[in-house]
Amino acid sequence: MDTDDISVFSSGHELPSALRGMTAARLLGIIDQAEGGSTEELFALYRDVIASDTHIQSEFAKRKDAVLGDTVAVLPFDKADPRCAASKELCAGIVDGQPFAVLCDWLLNATLYPVAVAEKVFAPTPGGYRLAGVVPVPFRLLDYSGGSLKICDADAQGNRLSTSHEPDPARYIVHRGHNLPLPDTWGGPMRACFFWWLLKTMSRQWWAELLERFGMPFLTGKFSDDKGKAILTRAFAMAQRLGGVVISKNTEVEIQQAASGDSSNSHERFIDVCNREISRLIVGQTLSSTADATGLGSGTASLQGAVKDDIRKKDARLLAVTIRAQLFSQFCSVNGASGPAPLVVFGADSSAEMAALVGLVKGLGEAGLEPDDDALDTISERVGFRVRRKAAAPSFPSAPFSLHALSAPAPQPPRGDSAGDLAAVFAGRYAPLRKIIAESASSAECLRRCRDWLAEHENSASAEILSDAMAAYALRGDSTVPLSVDANGRKHGD
């Protein structure tokens, strides 16, 4: 097996920034080139937009962090099959390594990008191979000029060469984290952000021009005759140089403030509209980035939170499928594991969904039903960790107050070791407990009288004393108490 990596991730050979002088015509030209198979400038523009726009960068980080922050669990494909258990143990070590974290972080770029490619690097071990590293393939090396995805060759310094090669599944992982029915050359979900980003960028110039023209106060004059008009004309001509006007007593001049109307906050409102549309595209909701009032009890927050959880679970599920099919299956094969590759589970359901699941299982138990053993795998996947059936509680002998009738045969006396336990419990200061047990007609009365006695005789080991006293008669299976009759004809345990 080839263990040498061939991808060169070098930031020194990235294309220069494409943001300077960006216009709508140039943006459409870049999109047209990408649809024709030349995606280098398109991916360079993706890079620049994410790096320069704080809102897009923040929302993209939220999208990725929702999955990267989850706990990763590796579950056997069939827990009853020992081969699956062996495959699970083999792949479990990959999850805890740094290459796996790098792989997940890079592949999640495909939630906005049309595709993400990473190279697997293996190293030989005495028993097989291990995952030594993951090399992200730069987007500038992706080539669609032939109609399908290829990877351009690069020299040792990372310079792009004119030749390219197919992404070998034994060497590369190719991940598409979206479900758009569009070719990769159309740009993926990020393409929809372009125009909102461009409008935000261009609106800055538009707003500057608005302020330049209408932001400063301007003068308005009123006159009643031609003489007053001539005076105002000369005064306005000198106003810019003098900083004031000199007019006659009967002539009026007013200062008008254009920014006192909607023009003062129009730019802010337009930016908010663009940011909301970008948030809706990337994270499926807007409340995580804005503090818009939704009304008391409207349920909007819960609804948008559910949408965000759905997106997180979709991203995690697609990533888990890619890792199992393109990494774990190969890793099991090269290491001689015969069982199917294990399942990968990122995180769990939301707290509300887990509460509903637990309530369902509890309701089944109250109805005399319980999930089958096969359902434990589904429950484990939903909660994010392995679950198993709770061990049955140990059964104890019946209480020592199931008294025999007088005609019943006398029970066998306690064995020697049981008698010794009785003597140890009822000796000395605890001797009154023996009398309480003997005189009590029921277990409830015995417990009540024991608690009363212990309350009067403070002892930090009260619970232990009471437990020993109640269990003494039950040792070795001696769960009954012999009967005796006092002078008043009452039946008591001896």
Q: Which range, 160-169, 351-360, 387-396, 442-451, has the best average confidence (pLDDT)? A: 160-169
Asked if residue 405 belongs to a domain, the reply is: no
Q: Are 203 and 182 members of one domain? A: no
**Domain boundaries, position 271:** 194-291
Q: For residue range 123-159, list pLDDT tens digits in order.
A: 998 888 999 999 999 999 999 998 899 999 888 777 8
Instruction: Give the pLDDT band of residue 211 (cuts 50, 70, 90).
Output: low
46-to-29, 54, 107, 187 alpha-carbon distances in Å: 15, 14, 16, 9
Length of the chain: 494
Q: What are the tens digits of pLDDT across the range 282-296?
A: 888 877 666 555 555
- Helices 431-439, 443-456: axis angle to 10 degrees equals 150
Return the minimum-mean-pLDDT range out of 209-218, 342-351, 480-489: 480-489
Q: What is the pLDDT of residue 333?
A: 92
Which residue pairs, CB below 8 angstroms and at least 24 apart, start in 439-445?
A: 439/492, 440/401, 440/493, 441/490, 441/491, 441/492, 442/401, 443/399, 443/400, 443/401
Last residue within a domain, chosen from 136, 153, 187: 187
406 within domain boundaries: no
- Looking at the fold, whether 33 and 125 belong to one and the same domain comes out as yes
Using a CB cutoff of 8 Å and minimum separation of 24, what contacts does 50-54 make? Answer: 52/19, 53/197, 53/200
Regarding whether 140 and 209 lie in a shared domain, the answer is no
pLDDT at position 226, please?
A: 76
Residues 206 and 183 in one domain: no
- Say if residue 58 is in the same domain as residue 203: no
Look up residue 129 and give its two tokens.
Answer: 């191979």
Whether 409 is in a domain gets the answer no
Both 207 and 240 in one domain: the answer is yes
User: In terms of domains, do 175 and 151 share one?
Assistant: yes
Is 338 inside any structural domain?
A: no
Domain finish residue from 164, 187, 210: 187
Residue 243 lies in a domain: yes
Question: What does the alpha-carbon distance between residue 135 and residue 57 come to, in Å, rounded to a whole number?
Answer: 23
How many angstroms separate the first and last alpha carbons of the chain?
82
CA distances to 351, 358, 375, 382, 386 from 389, rounded to whole Å, are 21, 14, 11, 16, 11
Whether residue 238 is found in the same domain as residue 364: no
**Amino acid in position 154:** A
Average pLDDT over residues 50-62: 92
pLDDT at 422: 54
* Sequence-separated (6 or more) residues with CB below 8 Å from residue 420: none
Region 29-53: what's the mean pLDDT? Answer: 92
Burial environment of residue 248 by CB neighbours within 10 A (0 to 12, 13 to 18, 19 or more): exposed
Which of 187, 206, 228 is a domain's end point? 187
C-alpha of 112 from chain center? 17
Question: In this prediction, what percent of the chain has a pLDDT beyond 70?
Answer: 66
pLDDT digits (tens, 9 = 90+) for 182-191: 999 999 999 9
Residue 231 lies in a domain: yes
Residue 469 has pLDDT above 70, yes or no: no
pLDDT digits over 406-420, tens only? Answer: 444 545 554 445 455
Residue 401 pLDDT level (bands cut at 50, 70, 90): very low
What is the Cα–Cα distance from 469 to 417, expressed in whole angstroms? 15
Based on the domain organization, do 82 and 121 belong to the same domain?
yes
Tokens representing 146 are 């032939």
Nearest-angstrom CA–CA distance, 268 and 65: 28
CA distance 164 to 298: 55
Same-domain check for residues 127 and 162: yes
Q: How far is CA 10 from CA 99, 135, 167, in A?
A: 18, 11, 19
Contacts of 305 (CB under 8 A, 6+ apart): 285, 287, 350
Average pLDDT of the residues in 194-222: 69
122, 130 in Cβ contact below 8 A?
yes
- Is position 309 within any domain? no
> pLDDT value at position 408?
47
Taking the C-alpha atoms of residue 332 and residue 340, their distance in angstroms, rounded to an integer, is: 8
23 and 152 both lie in a single domain: yes
Residue 404: is it exposed, middle or buried by C-beta count within 10 angstroms (0-12/13-18/19+)? middle
6 located within any domain: no
219 and 246 within one domain: yes
pLDDT at 109 over 90: yes
Could you give the number of structural domains in the chain? 4
Backbone dihedral angles phi then psi of residue 146, each to the nearest 5 degrees: -90, 5
Q: Is the pLDDT of residue 439 over 70?
A: yes
> Within 10 A of 89 (CB to CB), how many other CB atoms are there?
13
